[in-house]
Chain A
Amino acid sequence: MEFFRIKKDIPFMRHALTFNVISFVTFILAVVFLFTKGLHLSVEFTGGTLVEVKYEQAADLEKIRGALGKSGFSDYAVQNFGSSQDVMIRLPLKGEQNTSQLGETIMKALEAEAPGAALSRVEFVGPQVGKELAENGAMALLLVIVGIVIYLAFRFEWRFSVSAIIANLHDVVIILGFFAFFQWEFSLSVLAAVLAVLGYSVNESVVVFDRVRETFKKVRGLSTPEVLDHAITSTISRTIITHGSTQLMVLSMLIFGGETLYYFSLALTIGICFGIYSSVLVASPLVMWLGVSREQFVKPKKVVEGANEEGAVV
Chain B
Amino acid sequence: MNRYPLWKYVTVAIALVLGFIYTLPNFFGESPAVQVSSAKATLKVDQKTEARVAETLKAAGVAHDGILLDFNGVKTRFKDTDTQLKAKDILEKTFNPDASDPQYVVALNLLSASPGWLTSLHALPMYLGLDLRGGVHFLLQVDMKGALTKRLDSTSADIRTVLRDKSLRHGGVNREGDRIVIRFRDVETRDKARYAIADSQPDLQVVDAGDASEPRLVATLKPQAQQKIGEFALKQNITTLHNRINELGVAEPVIQQQGQDRIVVQLPGVQDTAKAKDILGRTATLEIRMVDDTPGALDAALAGNPPFGTELYNERGGQPLLVKKQVVLTGDRLNDAQPGFDNQTQEPAVHLNLDSAGARIFKDVTRENVGKRMAILLIEKGKGEVITAPVIRTEIGGGRVQISGRMTTAEANDTALLLRAGSLAAPMDIVEERTIGPSLGAENIKKGFHSTMWGFAAIAVFMILYYQMFGVVSVLALASNLLFLVALLSLLQATLTLPGIAAIALTLGMAIDANVLINERVREELRAGMPPQAAISEGYERAFGTILDSNITTLIAGLALLIFGSGPVRGFAVVHCLGILTSIFSSVVVSRALINLIYGRQKKLAKVAIGQVWKPGVAAGAKN
Contact = CB atoms under 8 A, between A and B. Distances in A.
A230 B430 contact: no
A148 to B, nearest CB: 6
Nearest 6 CB-CB pairs, A to B? A199-B557, A249-B509, A203-B550, A252-B455, A126-B431, A249-B455
Nearest to B280: A100
Interface in A263-300: 264-265, 268
Contacts of A248: 455, 458-459, 462, 509
Contacts of B554: 196, 199-200, 203
A126 B141 contact: yes
Contacts of B561: 140, 192, 195-196
Given A2-B611, A196-B558, A203-B553, A119 B437 contact: yes
Contacts of A314: 620, 623
A120 to B, nearest CB: 4
A214 B549 CA distance: 15
Nearest to A260: B498
B506 interface: yes
B499 A192 contact: yes
Interface stretch (B29-37, B221-229, B566-574): B566-574
Residue from A104, A122, A219, A257 with most neighbouring chain B CB atoms (10 Å): A257
A99 B430 contact: yes
Given A250-B509, A264-B502, 5 more contacts: A7-B616, A54-B439, A124-B430, A188-B568, A189-B568
Interface string A224-253: 000000100010011001101111111111
A241 B516 contact: yes
Interface in A148-167: 148, 151-152, 155
B613 interface: yes
B299 interface: no
B139 interface: yes
Interface residues of B, number: 83
A192 B560 contact: no
Given A140-B563, A192-B572, A248-B509, A126 B432 contact: yes
B434 A121 contact: yes
Given A5-B616, A137-B564, A249-B506, A260 B444 contact: yes
B566 A199 contact: no
A144 interface: yes
B435 A121 contact: yes
A7 B281 CA distance: 71
Contacts of A54: 437, 439
B429 interface: yes
A206 B553 contact: yes
22 contacts: A99-B430, A118-B439, A120-B437, A124-B433, A143-B559, A144-B560, A189-B499, A189-B569, A199-B553, A203-B549, A206-B549, A206-B553, A234-B524, A234-B622, A245-B459, A246-B513, A248-B462, A248-B509, A252-B450, A252-B454, A252-B455, A257-B451
Interface string B580-624: 000000000000000000000000000000011110110010111
Chain A contact residues: helix, strand, loop or mixed = helix
B565 to A, nearest CB: 7
Contacts of A247: 509
Contact of A257 (B447, B612, B613): B447
Interface stretch (A22-30, A64-72, A128-136, A178-186): A128-136
A36 B614 CA distance: 51
B465 interface: yes
B546 A206 contact: yes
Interface string A45-86: 000000010100000000000000000000000000000000
A249 B432 CA distance: 32
Chain B contact residues: helix, strand, loop or mixed = helix
Contacts of A115: none
A92 interface: no
Interface of B: 139, 141, 273-274, 277, 281, 429-437, 439-440, 443-444, 447-448, 450-452, 454-456, 458-459, 462-463, 465-466, 498-499, 502, 505-506, 508-510, 512-513, 516-517, 520, 523-524, 545-546, 549-561, 563-569, 572-573, 576, 611-614, 616-617, 620, 622-624
A232 to B, nearest CB: 13
Interface in A200-229: 200, 202-203, 206-207, 210, 214-215, 218-219
A251 B545 contact: no
Contacts of A207: 517, 546, 549-550
A41 to B, nearest CB: 15
A246 B556 contact: no
Interface of A: 1-2, 5-8, 44, 52, 54, 99-101, 103-104, 118-126, 128-129, 133, 136-137, 139-141, 143-144, 147-148, 151-152, 155, 188-189, 191-192, 195-196, 198-200, 202-203, 206-207, 210, 214-215, 218-219, 230, 234, 237-238, 241-242, 244-253, 255-258, 260-261, 264-265, 268, 314
A257 B568 contact: no
Contact of B447 (A99, A234, A238, A261): A261
A144 to B, nearest CB: 4
Contacts of B560: 140-141, 143-144, 147, 195
A253 B569 contact: no
B502 A261 contact: yes
Nearest to B457: A252
A5 B452 CA distance: 32
Contact of A246 (B512, B557, B572, B612): B512
A145 to B, nearest CB: 9
A127 to B, nearest CB: 8
Contact of A147 (B139, B430, B465, B556): B556
Contacts of A258: 443-444, 447
B440 A120 contact: yes
A52 B550 CA distance: 40
A107 B506 CA distance: 37
Nearest to A199: B557
B431 A128 contact: yes
Contacts of B569: 188-189, 191-192
A188 B617 contact: no
B611 A210 contact: no
A139 B566 CA distance: 13
Nearest to A244: B462
B85 to A, nearest CB: 19
Contact of B439 (A44, A120, A199, A268): A120
Contact of A129 (B139, B452, B613, B616): B139
Contacts of B517: 207, 238, 242
Contact of B505 (A44, A119, A198, A249): A249
A280 to B, nearest CB: 15
B549 A155 contact: yes
Contacts of B502: 189, 253, 257, 261, 264-265
A8 B431 contact: no
Contact of A249 (B430, B459, B549, B553): B459
Contacts of B616: 5-7
A132 to B, nearest CB: 8
A141 B560 CA distance: 8
B530 to A, nearest CB: 16
Contacts of A133: 566
Contacts of B566: 133, 136
A203 B506 CA distance: 15
B14 to A, nearest CB: 29
Contacts of A255: 451, 454
B451 A253 contact: yes
Nearest to A138: B564
A136 B513 contact: no
